Structure 1
Amino acid sequence: MLEHGGNLRDAARHYGREDWIDLSTGINPRGYPAPALPPDAWHRLPEPDPGLVAAACAWYGAPDLLPVAGTQAAIQALPRLRPPSRVTVSAPSYAEHAHAWGKHGHTLRLSSYAALASSIDDSDVVVVVNPNNPTGETVAPELLLDWATRLAARGGWLVVDEAFGDTAPGLSVAADGRQPGLIVLRSVGKFFGLAGLRLGFVAAQASTLQALAELLGPWTVSGPAQFVAKAALSDSAWQQATEARLAREGLRMRALLCEHGIEASGTPLFHWWAHSQPEAFHDHLARHGIWCRLFRDAARGIRLGLPPDEAAWRRLQTALHTWSNR
């Protein structure tokens, strides 16, 4: 399997310490406070809850949504719904997209964001992460909708992964989910800090959602996950306060990095920058008990998520200071 952030057991095994600050993911470190579960969440089969879908449609502005066991479930299933196709995936981006399409007989091509527009007319499927993970690059929604129209004219798809879209609602095309050829992925793991629920949503035409639901089978989302997510997606006061807090903390991280000569891009939830010595920087932070995300290949660099509290911010500041003054 591919390497991802959040692998603290690997960090502890390699460096022999337990007091880790995990900045290796882009997950909100102060996630939604899950309510107590009713007893039937555990002993009833998790039939679909229309209240969950209604709450998700309201939050994402989408006309229709299919709940799935994390967007990862949809990423792995979508390539199985098409015959062999010419597939272009934005790169560098979330590596599971290319990994999944490459395993099912499709012809895979990776494209930089700058070159994506030129790939539309000679692809059957184009996959875009917007905002991008890890670099934070974006594509304007009007351009995405134009690409979807051109692909749909040949029976093609535009897959837009908006897992980090909650902090950039103006970029979302989820409201256009019924447009032919458009498939949009959303996640409650990042903004809501509920990655452990394994819950995401897919917006698409009804026929695509039906085919995906049949492929994934029944009971794909647990009862506890549905209950907690419905509460989170309905809590407008928490959502508004979190939007404001993440915006402040994202600016704080950008300023802290700038103080130490680092020009980063990203979103309020994470920052990324190309680095000439990413392995050395990763090791340096690890020796301060800070686990960041190391990228070795096309996106050779470092990604940092947000610290959870003031003590973590101070430890990060100390680690950056000792790095820049080494």
Structure 2
Amino acid sequence: MKTIISSPHVPRVNRVDRIMLDVLLALVPGMLAMTWFFGWGLLINLVLAVTFAVVAEAAVMLARGRSPLIAIGDLSAVVTAVLFAISVPPMLPWWLTLLGMVFAIVLVKQLYGGMGYNPFNPAMAAYVFLLISYPIAMTTWLAPGMLAEHSFTFMESLRLILDGTLPAGLDWDAISSATPLDEMRGKLDLHLTIDEIRHSPLWGYVGGRGWEWIAFWFLAGGIYLLWRRTITWHIPVSMLLALAICSGIFWSLDPQTHPFPAFHLFSGAAILGAFFIATDPVTACTTRQGQLIFGAIIGITVFAIRTWGGYPDAVAFAVLLMNIAAPTIDYYTQPRVFGHGREHR
């Protein structure tokens, strides 16, 4: 005998925890790739960042006289922590991770009222705060695995993050490496041509060696989010297309002083930013036309800062700048309400 289900027949409403879980699952391939190329530091940072973020969230909720489970259960603090841990160097000292999470959760998120009220992306705000305050620590990256002189064990990585102890016989100059965008910017400032820079071991097939594979797996995660309809295509496509068009125009004018567009897409945080950061439903535009404008201006801003600004990878700065503009863009791109048209005289 068949069971007849009564109306109303409506789909299950998207819940915040389900959306956040989708985002976390989509980040897994990219995180595994980062661990493969940069070692255990990322996973250690993930554990620390998630712990600090959850504790900070719970403390604020208790101080407000509310149950911590209300905020922790939606997984938004976990997503903030994971995005932060992915964005920072894998051997970042633990106390900077703590400072970043307190800044993101307490000041950027909860100070404005909690989930749904924060005007800025918490993970990117924390990243920029630390980058400006502690530029050396925030730009000290290990060389990718195939270029590294020393492969860190789990315990060596843990000691380095917790107390700054390097293995015997090693110093930071021996294990650290410029990111591909840093390398490109620095060599161009020395008036080297692109052909000369391509001889660097950091250069891969289309982007930075190792970094291009990480970007590829984040792209796979972004496609998963599109398939799940967790995000729409408007922001990521407009952002990446604008970045590609801007870099393509300048590359076509002078290919020896401006890298090929694929280098911009697959060497830094462009893919991660397009699918996982700029699409934050709280701080991004909500109208379809507004999302296209929002994403396109982020892409243009990323290219401008990378080319003429002081920071090689500018995704965090571009996203935060557009977070400020999102309400205004939404205001001027609201669709016309049905039945309301121009007045006839």
- Bin the TM-score by the shorter chain: under 0.3
Normalised by the size of structure 2, how large is the TM-score?
0.26
Question: Which structure has more helix as a fraction of its residues?
Answer: 2
Question: Which structure has more strand as a fraction of its residues?
Answer: 1
Normalised by the size of structure 1, how large is the TM-score?
0.27
Larger relative contact order (C-alpha < 8 A, sep ≥ 6)?
Answer: 1
Structure with higher Rg: it is 2
